[in-house]
Amino acid sequence: MIIHPFGGKTQTFETEFAGKKLTIETGKLAFLADGAVTVRYGDTVVLATAVVAREPKPDQDFFPLLIDYEERMYAAGKISGSRFIKREGRPSEKAILTARLIDRPIRPLFPKGYRNDVQVVVTTLSVDGEHEPDVLGMIAASSALMLTGAPFQGPVAGMRIGEKDGELVAYPTVSEQEGSKLNLTIAGTADAIMMVEAGAQEISEETMVDAFELALKTWQPVIELQQEMAKALNVKPQEFDLFRADEDLAEKISDFLEGKLGADVRHSDGLKREDVLAELRKLVIDEFGPLPAEMEDDKERFPLGVVKTAFTSVIDAEIRRAILEDAERPDKRKTTEVRPISGDTSVLPRAHGSAIFTRGTTQALSVATLAPISYAQLIDTMEEDTTKRYMHHYNFPPYSTGEARPLRSTGRREIGHGALAERALEPMLPAVEEFPYAMRVVSEILSSNGSTSMASVCGSTLSLMDAGVPLTRPVAGIAMGLMIDKSKSDTYVILSDIQGAEDFAGDMDFKVAGTSEGITALQMDIKVTGITLEIMRAALAQAREGREHIMGKMLEILPEVRPELSEFAPRITKVVINPDKIKEVIGKGGETIQKITGETGAQIDIEDDGLIMIYSDDVKAAERAKNWIESIVAEPEVGKIYDATVVKIMDFGAFVEFMPGREGLVHVSQLADHRVEDVSDEISEGDSIRVKLVEKDDRGRYNLSKKAAQQE
C-alpha cells in the first residue's frame, strides 16, 4: 500500500481471470474523480474514471450518461503514421465501437428516471499486443462506477470468446484468435447477460449459447473482485431523486383514453396507426397541456413535456399489455410473423451493384462499388497497422423517420450499425486471390420503422450479388424483441422482426444475421437488468426461423449472383512476372509504370510476389497495358524479329532498342544487302526499323540484323 502526501491510499485487488492474473488498483491516479481505477492484464493497462453530478437535470427526458474510450498511440509504443498529424484527434472507428461496447451493458443498470450527469472515460495506457483492452475497459468502467456511490446496479464484467478446432476459448489472445471461427464480445452481471456483439463464420445456435454460458461462468471472479473492492473501501451510496412521468397524470390520461385505445392503437397499416396515435396525442395535449397565454380554464394543466412523456408511457404500457395478455402486436402480427418483404436490384444505372430492400415500412437502398485492391482502407491505430478491403457504411438521414433536423457528421449509432453489417457479410466474401477487388457498400436508410441495420444486411447482400461478387452464400438478418412480464419474471414473449413501437416499449433488441449454415453476426441491447440463457436460447431458435423466411424472399428478388460484373466496374487482367523484374516494370523513379498508366488509362497494382493486376473498364486498354508489361519482362529470343528504334549512330553500325530497356548492335555489314559506306546514308537516330536477333554473345551482348529481317 502506498500512502500519498495528501492522505490518499493506493489499494490493489487481484484475482485469476481466464487463467491469468487480473489486477484492479485504485487511489494512485486521478484523485479528484469520484471513482478511478487502473486494470492490468498481462502488460495491457487501462485507466477508467467516473464522475457523477450531484444534482439531476429534470428538464431532460433521457439519462445523460457519456462514455468515452480514448486510444493513445504511446500505449503501443507508436507514433501516428500520418505525415501531417501526430496528435490523437477524432476517435478511430475501433475506439467508437469500443465506447459503445462499454456503454451498452452499463446504461440499463441505472434506475429509470435517473437524470444526474454521469461521465466515464476509459484511457488505454499500455497495450501488449496480445490482450485486447476493450474487455478490460468494460471491467474498469464498472469498477470506477462502483466507487462513486451512484445508483449503479453493477458490477459488470466483459469477456471475449473464440472458437478454434471445435473448442471454445475464453479471452483468447490476439494470436489465439487467428483462425478462430468466432469473435464474441459479451458483458453481464453475476447472473445475467447484458450485451452481446459477435462476428462468426457460420456458427450454430447451440455453439453460441455454449459460448454465452462459458462467458457467464468465466467472469464470476471479476464480479466478486469488484464487490470485494467496494466493500473494502466502504463506498457510501449517494442520495438521488428519480424523474418519472407524473404517475397521477399518467393515470388520468389512461382514464381519459379509456375506450379510445385497444383496436385504435393496433392496425395492420403502420402509417394509419401513426395517424391514430397522433390524433390521440393531440386530444391529450388539448385536455391536459398548457393553454395559450390569453386563455384559461379551471382544469389542472401540466407542462407540455410532462404530458408527452406521460402519454408515451401510457401507450407503451398498452402495447406491453396487449402483447403479454392478448398476444396481439401493434400491427396485429403473430409473435413469429415477419412483415411483408419486397425489393429490387440494378435500380441505379451507373452503380456497380444496387438493391432496394423493404420490410414493412423500413426501407434500405444499398449500393456496391468495386475498385482496385489498392483502394483498400489503411488502418493505423493504437492496436492495428493493416488494411481493410471490404467497407460497409450506413447512413441514417432525418427524413427516414419523418423528421426535420440538421444533418451532422456520422454518429456512433451509424458507425455501429455499419460495422455490424460489415461483420455479417465479411465471412462470405471471396478470397482476395479469387476476387482481387476492394469493395464498398453504402446503405442509405430511406424509411425507418425498426430493424434498419438488418435491412442494410439484406440490402447489402443483394447489392453485392447484383455487382457480381461471388459470395459463398447470401446473408440475411432479423431483429428480435422481448416483452417480460414485470410481475412474473418467468413470463415473457419473444417477438420476430420488431418495429419501432415494439422496440421503444420492449426490453430487448437482439439482431441476428447469418446464412443457411449458421450465424455470422450478433448484436444485443437490453433495457432490463439482464437476460437469462433460457431466453437467449429461445430467441436464437426463433430468429433462425425468421432468418430462413427472409432469405427465401431475398432469393425471390435475386436468385443468384450475376454471372458478369457491371459494364462500369473495372475489369482485372492478371500478369505474373519474375519478382526480380518488378524494378524494370516500375522503372527509374516510377517512370516506366507512370508512362504505361498514362498512355493506356489502366490502373496497375504490383504485388511483391510478382503478381500484377491491371484494372480497366476498357478491354483494349487493359490488353495494351498487359502487352507492354510482358514486353518489358520478356527475354530476347534469338531468331525473332523485332520492331526497333535507332538510338545511336556509330561508324561501325547503329545501336537500337529492340525491346523496352534492351539495346543491341546492328553492324554496318547487317544494315543492307549491299555494301554500306556511311551508316547515316541508311538510317538516322529515331528511325523505326525491323531487325532480327541473330546472336547473344558470351558477354550478354545482342547482335541484330536489318538485312536478315528484310530477307525473311
Element (H, E) at 585: helix 582-586
Give the model's pLDDT for residue 85.
84
Q: Which residues neighbour 274 within 8 Å (Cβ) at sequence distance 6 or greater? A: none
Q: What is the mean pLDDT of residues 246-255?
A: 84
Q: What is the mean pLDDT of residues 321-334?
A: 88
Please report where in the chains the cell 458478369 appears, as a residue: 564
pLDDT band at 270 (very low <50, low <70, confident <90, very high): low
Distances (CA, A) of 388 to 233, 375, 438, 594, 685: 46, 9, 8, 26, 50
| pLDDT tops 90 at residue 139 | yes
Give the model's pLDDT for residue 327.
86
| pLDDT tops 90 at residue 370 | yes
Domains 2-232 and 341-557 share a fold: yes
User: In DSSP terms, which residues pair with 184 in a beta bridge?
Assistant: 161, 198
Could you give the 3-state DSSP secondary structure of residue 285?
A: helix
Q: Which CATH class is domain 641-711?
A: mainly beta
> pLDDT by residue (tens digit) across 426-440?
999 999 888 999 999
| Global confidence as pTM | 0.85
Distances (CA, A) of 211 to 167, 214, 288, 607: 10, 5, 51, 40
Domain boundaries, the chain: 2-232, 247-326, 341-557, 571-633, 641-711
| pLDDT tops 90 at residue 2 | no
> What CATH topology corresponds to 571-633?
Ribosomal Protein S8; Chain: A, domain 1 (3.30.1370)
Give the model's pLDDT for residue 1.
45
Give the model's pLDDT for residue 368.
98
> pLDDT by residue (tens digit) across 629-664?
888 888 888 999 999 999 999 999 999 999 877 899
How far apart (Å, rounded) are the C-alpha atoms in residues 678 and 258? Answer: 114
Q: Where are the beta strands (DSSP E) in 412-491?
A: 437-447, 476-484
Give Cα 688 distance to the centre of its chain: 57
Q: What is the mean pLDDT of residues 244-265?
A: 78
> pLDDT by residue (tens digit) across 511-552?
999 999 999 999 998 888 888 899 999 999 999 999 999 999
Residue with the larger pLDDT of the pair 276 and 518: 518
| Beta pairing, strands 508-514 & 519-526 | antiparallel
User: In DSSP terms, which residues pair with 168 in a beta bridge?
Assistant: 163
Give the model's pLDDT for residue 264.
62
> What CATH topology corresponds to 341-557?
Ribosomal Protein S5; domain 2 (3.30.230)
pLDDT band at 269 (very low <50, low <70, confident <90, very high): low
| Beta pairing, strands 157-164 & 688-696 | unpaired
Q: Is the peptide bond before 221 cis (omega within 30 degrees of 0)?
A: no
Measured in degrees and rounded to the nearest 5, phi and psi for residue 11 equal: -125, 140
Share of the chain above pLDDT 90, in %: 60
Cell of 567: 459494364
CATH of span 2-232: 3.30.230.70
Q: What is the mean pLDDT of residues 499-503?
A: 88
Give the model's pLDDT for residue 309.
83
Q: Which residues neighbour 207 within 8 Å (Cβ) at sequence distance 6 or greater? A: 163, 168, 182
Give the model's pLDDT for residue 248.
80
How far apart (Å, rounded) are the C-alpha atoms in residues 57 and 116? Answer: 6
Rounded to the nearest integer, the mean pLDDT of the chain is 90
How far apart (Å, rounded) are the C-alpha atoms in residues 606 and 622? Answer: 15
How far apart (Å, rounded) are the C-alpha atoms in residues 562 and 463? Answer: 10
Give the model's pLDDT for residue 489.
66
Which amino acid, 153? Q
Say which range, 42-46, 304-308, 643-647, 702-706, has the weakest mean pLDDT. Answer: 304-308
pLDDT band at 41 (very low <50, low <70, confident <90, very high): very high
Q: Where are the beta strands (DSSP E) in 256-361?
A: 341-345, 353-359
HSE-up of residue 580 (Cα within 13 Å, Cβ side): 2
Entry field: residues in the chain = 712
How far apart (Å, rounded) are the C-alpha atoms in residues 125 and 39? Answer: 10
Q: What is the mean pLDDT of residues 290-294?
A: 79
Cell of 13: 485487488
> pLDDT by residue (tens digit) across 157-208?
999 999 988 899 999 999 999 989 999 999 999 999 999 999 999 999 999 9
DSSP 588: G
Distances (CA, A) of 423 to 135, 145, 275, 417: 19, 31, 37, 10
Q: What is the DSSP string of 117-167?
A: EEEEEEEEEE--SSS-HHHHHHHHHHHHHHTTTSS-----EEEEEEEETTE
Q: Where are the beta strands (DSSP E) in 30-70?
A: 35-41, 44-56, 65-70
Q: What is the mean pLDDT of residues 468-479?
A: 97
Nearest Cα neighbor of 153 from 124, 183, 112, 117 is: 112
